[in-house]
Structure 1
Amino acid sequence: MSKFDKIRPYYDAEVNDAIRSSINHPMMKALMDFAYPNVEEAVWKEQLLRTHSIRDFQINFAYHAIKKILEKSSDGLTTSGFEKLDPNTSYFFISNHRDIILDTSLLNVCLHEHGLVMTASAIGDNLVKKDFLLKLSKLNRNFLVQRNLSPRELLVSSKLLSEYMYSLISKENRSVWIAQREGRTKDGNDATHSGVLKMMAMASDEKNSMDFFKKVRIVPVSISYEYDPTDALKMPQLMAEANDQIYLKEKNEDFITLLSGIIGQKKRIHIHVGDILEDELDAISAETTNSNKQMLALAQVIDDSILQSYKLWPTNYIAYDMMNNTTIYSEKYTEEEKQLFKRRLELRINAGDAKMKESFLAMYANPVTNKLKYQKIESNS
């Protein structure tokens, strides 16, 4: 047994057995009917049964399913920055996190289309409690982040996770994706938690953590959706937090959010990959040798990259103007786009609830506010 067996995806030798045990599951049929609406069941089953590697499963099935999702629930995906990456090099992608499944799935679509190494991707084990979802995630090269642990268990789990990610990058030349924080950003404020970086650094044998991070080649990734298909679903938690209440999830809440993110309308999507962090790490090392200060500085560097390259859509500018009762960004959207956004707001939340309306608008407006900070810095420099 490998020490990573609890968290790793399938080895290629395990793929066919996993497929055979799942092939008659109703969700597999639903997935295949969605991805291949004009293909007979017997045909896709035969093709699945001939699949013996994760790469084959991803390219022949998962890739087409994601392309179909884009076709049915978006107005297209655009990209920037991928041309800077080397096809034979593995990277440590850290991104903002808006959607449970699509953030990493769309990144892999982009990597594949640019001829680059697809990632192994982190997913919370709370999201794959159903046996079929667990198998599907392991077929898609997801590795598990264990949740709801005691402090002692968390320490052990974090060390295992960091060692696994480092072994993927350094020994298998496999890129890794992880979100900048635990859980999705719900209020539009994308911020890297230094705890994520500290966890990754547990695998380091370097005296200076920045030397370790140079070895894993950090690439910040910025993902933006014109419409968040789960915006209304995020409201109960945001409202509870606004009222200083403890938020308890409903029984199938994660699953409902997962499905809504996949099939809900997103309009346009943009993914930008930033520069590999190198000089920034040297600058941090030169500034301080204190580990905590280094992690905070690195988190800020990642935030700077993600926020500056974040693609703002008309919905962001509309929400900012509505929230601040201004028209300063009116040239960024049409009256029709504004009316569509207002209609969405009215349909998805109780617009008569001032707090809820403000939270909904802030979710879309905060990326504008965050980007403004950088524009002011640039104009003053």
Structure 2
Amino acid sequence: MSPFEDIRPYYDTEVNQAIRQIIDHPMLKAMMNFTFPDWQDSYWKDLMMHCHSIRDFQINFIYPGVKKVLEKSSEGLTTSGFEKLEANTSYLFISNHRDIILDTSLLNASLYEKGLFMTTSAIGDNLVKKPFLNHLSRLTRNFIIKRGLPARELLESSKVVSAYIRHSLLRENRSVWIAQREGRTKDGNDLTQKGVLKMISMAADEGEHFLDYFKRLNVVPVSISYEYDPTDILKMPELLAKANQETYIKAENEDFKTLLSGIIGQKKRIHIHVGDLLNEEIEHIKNTVSGNVKQMQALADLIDYQIITGYKLWPTKYIACDLLTGTDQFASEYTPEEKAFFEARFRRGVDQNNPVAVKSFLSMYANPVLNQKRLLEEVKN
């Protein structure tokens, strides 16, 4: 039995049987009716029953669904940096993470359109507890990361995940997507957790320097930016709890509600930027920074720099920054109409008499501007 049995996506030989288990599920019907509004159920069901690989499932059913989501809930997706990627080469995409499903779906749609390998992608087990979602995630080449384990079990689970990432990249030549931190970024501060990097490095060969191992994995940072976050108001209770130094407990089905809101809610414009392959910079860290702890921090800082400076700053980010600081320093970056639209949404969704709520909401949008400005100023100095 594979050591990855508990976390891996389906093998192609298992795809058809998995489809048969969900073919009559009402959620699948809703997805397909959304994706193919002019098709009879019997037509898409017959096509799906003849599907025998993950790639076929993704190209024929998931990809058209993603295109329909873009059509219905956005003003389009733009990309940059993909020309730096080589066909038939696997990459470890380390990305900021804003939307539960769309981040990876949009990246994979872009990779597919450009003739590049689609990824196997990390997903938290809290998102796939329902049998239908578990089947669907494994049919779209997700591997599962287990959350909330005791320390010893967490260590063992991390070793298995690390080994799977290595297996996918170096044995199967399959690109991998993983977020730079556990869970989605809710406050707009895209910072890489060293714990994620340490977990990945667990699969290095005995005696191999972890930086040499990361070079073998072909690390490429990715920045994804939504003009509007359709889940911004849903994030407020957790942000308020954090601001008040309180423990936040998720409501039942909160993740599922957020998942749906992220997919169907209005996002306006979206941009994905692919950063540089980090091998030269990683070699530089190895030669100029001493000690594993400082080297790991330098690697995290390098990924942060690429993600933050590659992040597309939409007018909403600048508007929030000016509202937060009470200035108009970025007024040239947006129109009065764009500001009025943002302010109407902000005032409708956030209690204006609660200064903590106001600051939390505006910071969510403004932090990418402030972080990018800070990093670029540091480079100048």
Tell me the TM-score normalized by structure 2. Answer: 0.98
* SS of equivalent residue, structure 1 residue 14: helix
2:121 alignment counterpart: 121
Is it true that 1:151 corresponds to 2:151 in the alignment? yes
Deviation sequence 1:82-116 (CA, Å, 0-9, x none): 01101110000000000000001100001001100
2:314 alignment counterpart: 313
* SS of equivalent residue, structure 1 residue 270: strand
Is it true that 1:97 corresponds to 2:97 in the alignment? yes
2:193 alignment counterpart: 193
Q: How does 1:361-380 map to 2 (within 5 A)?
A: 361-380=362-381
On the 8 A contact 1:92/1:219 being kept in 2, the answer is yes
* SS of equivalent residue, structure 1 residue 232: coil
Deviation sequence 1:178-202 (CA, Å, 0-9, x none): 0000000010000000100000000
2:182 alignment counterpart: 182
1:285 alignment counterpart: 286
1:377 to partner: Cα distance: 3.0
1:322 alignment counterpart: 323
2:241 alignment counterpart: 240
Is it true that 1:82 corresponds to 2:75 in the alignment? no
Alpha-carbon separation, structure 2, partners of 1:75 and 1:31: 21
Equivalent AA in structure 2 for residue 64 of structure 1: P
Equivalent AA in structure 2 for residue 195 of structure 1: G
Equivalent AA in structure 2 for residue 283 of structure 1: H
Equivalent AA in structure 2 for residue 170 of structure 1: L
2:55 alignment counterpart: 55
Is it true that 1:142 corresponds to 2:142 in the alignment? yes
2:335 alignment counterpart: 334
Q: How does 1:10-49 map to 2 (within 5 A)?
A: 10-49=10-49
Alpha-carbon separation, structure 2, partners of 1:2 and 1:378: 47
Equivalent AA in structure 2 for residue 265 of structure 1: Q
Equivalent AA in structure 2 for residue 66 of structure 1: V
1:218 alignment counterpart: 219
Alpha-carbon separation, structure 2, partners of 1:76 and 1:371: 24
Alpha-carbon separation, structure 1, partners of 2:261 and 2:98: 12
1:289 to partner: Cα distance: 4.4
1:350 to partner: Cα distance: 1.6
Alpha-carbon separation, structure 2, partners of 1:41 and 1:347: 39
Equivalent AA in structure 1 for residue 240 of structure 2: M
* SS of equivalent residue, structure 1 residue 94: strand
2:265 alignment counterpart: 264
1:375 to partner: Cα distance: 2.8
Q: In terms of mean alpha carbon deviation, does 76-85 or 348-357 score higher? A: 348-357
Alpha-carbon separation, structure 1, partners of 2:14 and 2:291: 44
Alpha-carbon separation, structure 2, partners of 1:376 and 1:147: 37
Q: How many residues align?
A: 380
Deviation sequence 1:120-145 (CA, Å, 0-9, x none): 00000001110000000000000000
Alpha-carbon separation, structure 2, partners of 1:94 and 1:379: 26
Q: In terms of mean alpha carbon deviation, does 105-114 or 351-360 score higher? A: 351-360
Equivalent AA in structure 2 for residue 278 of structure 1: N
Alpha-carbon separation, structure 1, partners of 2:63 and 2:247: 39
Alpha-carbon separation, structure 2, partners of 1:149 and 1:375: 39
Equivalent AA in structure 2 for residue 225 of structure 1: Y
Alpha-carbon separation, structure 1, partners of 2:319 and 2:289: 42
Is it true that 1:164 corresponds to 2:157 in the alignment? no
Alpha-carbon separation, structure 2, partners of 1:132 and 1:350: 37
Alpha-carbon separation, structure 2, partners of 1:124 and 1:84: 29
Equivalent AA in structure 2 for residue 46 of structure 1: D
1:70 alignment counterpart: 70
* SS of equivalent residue, structure 2 residue 235: helix
1:378 to partner: Cα distance: 4.3
Alpha-carbon separation, structure 2, partners of 1:42 and 1:291: 58
On the 8 A contact 1:92/1:175 being kept in 2, the answer is yes
**Unaligned residue ranges in structure 2 (runs of 5+):** none
On the 8 A contact 1:208/1:289 being kept in 2, the answer is no
Equivalent AA in structure 2 for residue 74 of structure 1: S
Alpha-carbon separation, structure 2, partners of 1:7 and 1:317: 41
* SS of equivalent residue, structure 1 residue 79: strand
Tell me the TM-score normalized by structure 1. Answer: 0.98
Alpha-carbon separation, structure 2, partners of 1:262 and 1:358: 26
Alpha-carbon separation, structure 2, partners of 1:317 and 1:241: 24
Alpha-carbon separation, structure 2, partners of 1:66 and 1:360: 28
1:379 to partner: Cα distance: 4.0
2:302 alignment counterpart: 301
1:52 to partner: Cα distance: 0.3
Alpha-carbon separation, structure 2, partners of 1:332 and 1:273: 23
Deviation sequence 1:191-244 (CA, Å, 0-9, x none): 000100000000001531110000000000000000011101111011001111
Deviation sequence 1:288-341 (CA, Å, 0-9, x none): 342222111100000000111110000000000000000111111011100100
1:358 alignment counterpart: 359
Alpha-carbon separation, structure 2, partners of 1:31 and 1:68: 10
1:148 to partner: Cα distance: 1.0
Tell me the percent identity.
60
Alpha-carbon separation, structure 1, partners of 2:160 and 2:219: 20
1:131 alignment counterpart: 131
* SS of equivalent residue, structure 2 residue 167: helix
